[in-house]
Amino acid sequence: MNWIALLLTCLLTVSASAQTVLTGRITDHNGHGLPGANVMLRGTYDGTSTDSTGAFRFSTSRKDTATLVVSYIGYEPTRQKITIGPNPISVRLNELANELNTVVVTAGVFEASDSKRMTMLKPMDIVTTAGGGADITSVMNLLPGAQRVGEQNGLFVRGGSGEEAKIVIDGMIVQNPFFSQSPNLQSRGRFQPFMFKGTSFSTGGYSAQYGQALSSVLLLNTTDQNQNEGLGISVNLANAGLTYDHATRNASISATGYYGNLKPLFALVPQNVDWTHVPELGGGSLTYRLQPSKTGMLKFYGMYSNSVVGMNFVDPSSETGKTAFNQRNTNIFVTSTYTDRWANGNWQLMSGLSYSHDVDATTYGTLDFGRGTDRLQGRAMLTRSLGGKLGNQLLFGTEGSRVTYRNAIAGTPYSLVDTYGAVFFESQVYAGRKLAIQSGIRGEYSSVLNRFNLAPRVSMAYKTGLYSQVSLAYGQFYQTPDARYLYRNTSLNYERADHLILNYQIIRNKRTFRIETYYKNYAQLVREFTGPNGTLGPYDANPYRFPWGQTNNTGYGYAKGFDLFWRDQQTIKGLDYWITYSFVDSKRLFQQFPTLATPSFISNHNIALIGKRYFEKISTNVGLTYTISTGRPYYNPTNPTFLADRTPAVTNLSFSASHLTHIGKNLTILYASVDNMLNTRNVYTYLYTPNRNDGSAPTRYAVGPASYRSFFVGGIVMLSRKAKVDVRQL
């Protein structure tokens, strides 16, 4: 029996003496200890967590060598062969690339996204900003780099005109993003902000993926899923509509229909416009999304709208000072995209096809000034991720479109067809986590010009601190001249802009500061010579005139300036406010300009102060916005210096509130807004009567908004019990 006891004792002693204590320390690459790191020997239960100094100590029965596995959140896990023994082991871990420690190319970009954590805006900001009227472009106009031009449609970015900005939905250019413009009145965008999960507003230096915009692209990405379920009713002072949403496991459908008539609103808000047919509109949309596989996504979106408007508008060239304007617009837009990825997401495809049809049946007095466009566009883009821990990638793609333009000018029809093709290539390369370089090139061909262009773009960003970075971007941008020039002259060339942008930003603890400075050079701009034998004719300030004169590409110009953005969601609890300031200095020689001058759409200083607060107890969201735009040049025929006069500054204080409640058992959102609370008599520009033969002084007409102080109320009732309301949409 004794020897059994001995054997057992031996065995136990052996196993006890075989225990070796391993010690060591886990640090980051700067040598700081990492507390709570997980340390173990591979294939065994032997291991521990590091203490508050990064040190560890555990025992193992392993002998000779083993593999030590170390992991820590946010760091690259490592494994290394070690010799079991008393010597302390030290392991350094490298931080994983993440949104905080990896640089992102940001020059020129202003992004609103939910999926990315480091953005200055969230999609909700578009809906909750007072003075924006839940209109995407109106809110973009409050961002740095953009400026407000009250009487015209479009995004005016850094000295660019409204035509120089393109609006792109899921990669497809939208030909008519705004409801048709009436003389001297701005109209809303056609798209609901709720449709989009992400918005990226580029004020310059943007990617080679996009072209045909001299100054800016606004990229809108549609949502992948329904935000609602069941039927909803919406009623406000101008509009009544129905929405229906339904989702299954891998598909979803949304439908909307509405009828709008501004009579009730106009009965309450005094109008500056002599309406002969109060704006009336009807339409609908259909969205269908299908996920045929785990990675694939097919989206279809179609919309139709029809609108009618009539007015007697201020027309200094008419004897009575007014001209009758009537317009009926029909618009169809359909777009379908398919995205997929393969090989663990290393290959990504984005493809799309879209068609739009837009007709304005327009008359000025009795003359036909109708216009229309048809656009067919296709696009395909492949992205190849180059692996690695950083986001190195190559991207290449192609797009093509066929656009038909039609205009009737005082009854004479003009039309042209432009077939356009482009290829683009872009690479994004990280040199470590601190430096990223994105370089691309885009080649384009337009059949109507019968010319090619090649536009290089490059941008880079360097991380200067944990929360801050600088970016630099340079790019060349081409745009086919306006169709109205091409009707009479197809030998024109592309207009061109070169952008140089320097940006610094710091985002820390819900506070954001961003400054961006830029220089933009315009070349090959179209000039018009309306005088005899191709000489410069007298300047005609009518914005709706047809360019009858000879044209060439000898125009040029520049825009330079800087933008500031400050947003703070931290200092005062519950209050979120931002301040934007944009300064631009720009001059051009283009169109019928006799000399280099600041165009009438430029205002040198634009300031926006935006504040919002959500009151949880009364479930009400309240916002205030104050904007100042300094005066813009206007053409005064009595002033010998061209475009030397300035309008007074335009200011606006607006308020909005929305409240969530129940009507019966149905969730209901009520909203109200007041625009121009101070009832300021803003003037956007002045128009003059033509020189009279009798030598009498011309008369000046002021062009302002359709109404001064105005208000709006409405509500949405969800009929389905399953309905949910997003607080963000208040």
Partner 1 sequence: MKTLVITLLTALLGITTPTLAQSPQYKQAMTDALTAMNNFRGQPSATDLLTVANQFERIATVESGEWLPRYYAGLNYVYLGFMGKDQAEKDKYLDQADVNLKAAEAISPKNDELAVLKAYIAQSRMIVDPMNRWQQYGPLFQSGIEQAKAMNPANPRPYVLEGSSLMYTPAQFGGGADKACPVLKQAMEKFATFKPASEFAPGWGKQQVEPLLAKCK
CA distance 88 to 22: 7
* Nearest C-alpha neighbor of 473 from the set 502, 497, 506: 502
Select the span of 290-298, 379-387, 416-424, 658-666 touching partner 1 (CB under 8 A): 658-666
Task: Considering only residues 711 through 730, tell me which ones interact with partner 1, judged by CB under 8 A.
Answer: 724-728
**Site for partner 1 (CB under 8 A): which residue of 10, 18, 100, 410?**
100
Closest CA to 256 of 284, 233, 219, 235: 284
- Token digits for 242? 């129905």
> Measured between alpha carbons, how far is 242 from 537 in angstroms, rounded to an integer?
53
Stretch near partner 1 under the rule CB under 8 A, chosen from 112-120, 287-295, 311-319, 693-701: 112-120
Closest distance of CB 703 from partner 1, Å: 40
Between 253 and 382, CB nearer to partner 1: 253
C-beta of 114 vs 274, nearer to partner 1 = 114
Binder among 2, 4, 17, 81 for partner 1 (CB under 8 A):
4
Q: What is the strand order of the sheet 165-169 is part of?
A: 109-113, 196-202, 216-222, 165-169, 172-173
Tell me how many degrees the CA angle 602-605-606 measures, rounded to the nearest 5: 95
Q: Residue 42 or residue 277: which is nearer to partner 1 going by CB?
A: 42
Tokens, residue 675: 């625009």
List, in sequence order, the alpha helices (H) in 641-695.
none
Q: How far, in Å, CA of 648 to CA of 605, rounded?
A: 12
- The minimum distance between CB 461 and partner 1, in angstroms, equals 19
Residue count of the chain: 730
Ranges of beta strands (E only) in 29-103 are 38-41, 47-49, 55-60, 65-71, 78-83, 89-93
State which residue, 19 or 44, has the beta carbon closest to partner 1.
Answer: 44
Find the shortest distance in angstroms from Cβ 138 to partner 1: 21
Q: Which is nearer to partner 1, 332 or 506 (CB)?
A: 506
Tell the burial category of 10 from Cβ atoms under 10 Å away from its Cβ (0-12, 13-18, 19+).
Answer: exposed
CB of 215 to partner 1, least distance (A): 30
> Closer CB to partner 1, residue 45 or residue 320?
45
> Binding residue for partner 1 (CB under 8 A) from 509, 535, 542, 639?
509
C-alpha distances in Å from residue 72, one per residue of 27, 50, 722: 10, 10, 42
**Contact region with partner 1 (CB under 8 A), list: 417-425, 641-649, 656-664, 681-689:** 656-664
Among 20, 49, 67, 312, binds partner 1 (CB under 8 A): 49
Q: How far apart are CA 25 and CA 31, in angstroms?
A: 10
- Amino acid identity of residue 211, one-letter, is G
**Shortest CB 344 distance to partner 1, Å:** 13
Among 74, 413, 456, 594, binds partner 1 (CB under 8 A): 74
Residue 435's alpha-carbon distances to 94, 106, 293, in angstroms, are: 17, 12, 36
Radius of gyration of the chain (CA): 31
If the CB atoms of residues 280 and 568 are measured against partner 1, the closer one turns out to be 568
Instruction: Spell out the SS3 assignment of 143-201.
Output: CCCEECCCCCCCCEECCCCHHHEEEEECCEECCCCECCCECCECCCECCCHHHEEEEEE
Burial of 639 (0-12, 13-18, 19+ CB in 10 A): exposed
Task: Report the alpha-carbon distance of residue 466 to residue 437 in Å, rounded.
Answer: 19
CB neighbour class for 212 (10 Å; exposed up to 12, middle 13-18, buried from 19): buried
Interactions with partner 1, residue window 606-645 (CB under 8 A): 614, 616, 619
Does residue 115 touch partner 1 according to CB under 8 A? yes
The one segment of 320-328, 345-353, 439-447, 660-668 that binds partner 1 by CB under 8 A: 660-668
To partner 1, the closest distance from the beta carbon of 487 in angstroms equals 47
| Maximum Cα interatomic distance, the chain, rounded to a whole number of Å | 138
User: What residues between 664 and 683 interact with partner 1 by CB under 8 A?
Assistant: 667
Site string for partner 1, 219-258 (x = CB under 8 A): ------x-x-------------------------------
Could you give the 3-state DSSP secondary structure of residue 484? helix
Cβ-count burial 175-210 (b if 16+ within 10 Å, e if not): bbbbbbbbbbbbbebbbebbbbbbbbbbbbbbbbbb
Q: How far is the CB of 668 from partner 1 (least distance, A)?
A: 10
For partner 1, the closer of residues 662 and 692 by Cβ is 662
Of 128 and 216, CB closest to partner 1: 128
Taking the complex as a whole, how short is the minimal distance between the CB of residue 191 and partner 1, in angstroms?
18
DSSP 138: H
CB of residue 607 to partner 1, shortest distance in Å: 26
CB of 115 to partner 1, least distance (A): 8
Question: How far, in whole angstroms, is CA 142 from its chain's centroid?
Answer: 12
Shortest CB 198 distance to partner 1, Å: 12
Which of 10, 12, 14 minimizes the C-alpha distance to 63?
A: 14
Binding to partner 1 in span 373-402, by CB under 8 A: none
**Which DSSP symbol is given to 266?**
H
CB-CB contact of 483 with 467 (8 Å) = no
Nearer to partner 1, 560 or 728 (CB): 728
- Our CB check for partner 1 shows the closer of 11 and 454 to be 11
Which CB, 23 or 639, lies closer to partner 1? 23
CB of 2 to partner 1, least distance (A): 12
Among 63, 116, 277, 662, binds partner 1 (CB under 8 A): 662
Distances (CA, A) of 6 to 10, 12, 16, 17, 168: 6, 10, 15, 16, 84
Least Cα distance to 193 among 246, 260, 122 occurs for 122
Contacts of partner 1 in 426-445 (CB under 8 A): none
Dist CA 247 CA 195 (whole Å): 15
> Is 20 or 239 the residue whose CB approaches partner 1 more closely?
20
Cβ proximity to partner 1, 56 vs 487, nearer residue? 56
Which residue number, 35 or 321, has a Cβ lying nearer to partner 1?
A: 35
Nearer to partner 1, 42 or 263 (CB): 42
User: Taking the complex as a whole, how short is the minimal distance between the CB of residue 38 and partner 1, in angstroms?
Assistant: 4
Q: How far is the CB of 310 from partner 1 (least distance, A)?
A: 41
Size of the site for partner 1 (CB under 8 A): 42
Distances 50 to 85, 90, 285, 518 between C-alpha atoms, Å: 19, 12, 58, 50
Residue 8-47 contact track with partner 1, rule CB under 8 A, x = bound? x--x-----------------------xx-x-x-xxxx-x
Give the range of 68-76, 174-182, 354-362, 443-451 binding partner 1 by CB under 8 A.
68-76
Report the interface residues with partner 1, using CB under 8 A: 4, 7-8, 11, 35-36, 38, 40, 42-45, 47-49, 52, 69, 71, 73-74, 98, 100, 114-115, 117, 122, 124, 225, 227, 509, 614, 616, 619, 660-662, 667, 724-728
